[in-house]
């Protein structure tokens, strides 16, 4: 039978091997995830460039014609074109000043307007006869 010291040594040895495997796996996953993120960013940039080019040539060539020339599926070309972010430029916001805030006065809350309450309607009766017989449904007249 193993002594207490031997059992402790064996557990530590097993834990060391397990910890080394866990650390290696975590490092490999981390490196691959970083690589994937970089490639995904590159792919997004390329797709954005494709969309910009497609938009710029739309006046001289349509998607189907371009697909014929390039052997790139029209669905892919359309997806890149529609996913393109339009070049809008940066919006400028006016700087808020203390003067404009003090000159406004108190704000007033709008009260909701009263709406007429809807009347309950009875559910339509279930048909038990053939489809040839017209169904009569009561209608409300306002």
pLDDT in the model for residue 102: 52
**Alpha helical stretches, state H, 57-127:** 63-70, 74-83, 98-102
Residues with pLDDT less than 70, the chain? 86-142
Q: What is the pLDDT of residue 12?
A: 92
Q: 66 is in which domain, residue-wise?
A: 4-87
Q: What is the pLDDT of residue 84?
A: 83
Q: What is the pLDDT of residues 1-36, one digit of tens each?
A: 889 999 999 999 999 989 999 999 999 999 999 999
Angstrom distance (rounded) from CA 105 to CA 98: 13
Instruction: Answer whether residue 54 is part of any domain.
Output: yes
Q: Is residue 102 part of a domain?
A: no
Taking the whole predicted model, whether its pTM rises above 0.75 is answered as no
Domain assignment present for residue 124? The answer is: no
**Phi-psi category of residue 105: left, alpha or beta, with phi > 0 → left and psi -120 to 50 → alpha:** left
Q: Count the domains in the chain.
A: 1
- Asked whether residue 34 is domain-assigned, the answer is yes
User: For residue 48, is it within any domain?
Assistant: yes
């Amino acid at each position: 039978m193993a002594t207490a010291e031997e059992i402790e040594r064996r557990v530590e040895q097993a834990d060391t091997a397990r910890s080394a495997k866990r650390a290696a796996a975590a490092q490999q996953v981390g490196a691959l995830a970083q690589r994937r993120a970089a490639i995904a960013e590159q792919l997004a940039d390329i797709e954005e460039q494709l969309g910009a080019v497609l938009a710029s040539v739309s006046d001289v060539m349509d998607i189907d014609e371009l697909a014929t020339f390039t052997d790139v599926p029209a669905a892919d070309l359309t997806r890149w074109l529609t996913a393109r972010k339009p070049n809008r430029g940066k919006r400028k916001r006016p700087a808020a000043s203390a003067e404009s805030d003090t000159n406004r006065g108190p704000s007033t809350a709008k009260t909701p307007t009263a709406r007429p309450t809807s009347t309950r309607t009875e559910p339509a009766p279930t048909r038990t006869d053939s489809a040839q017989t017209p169904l009569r449904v009561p209608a409300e007249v306002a």
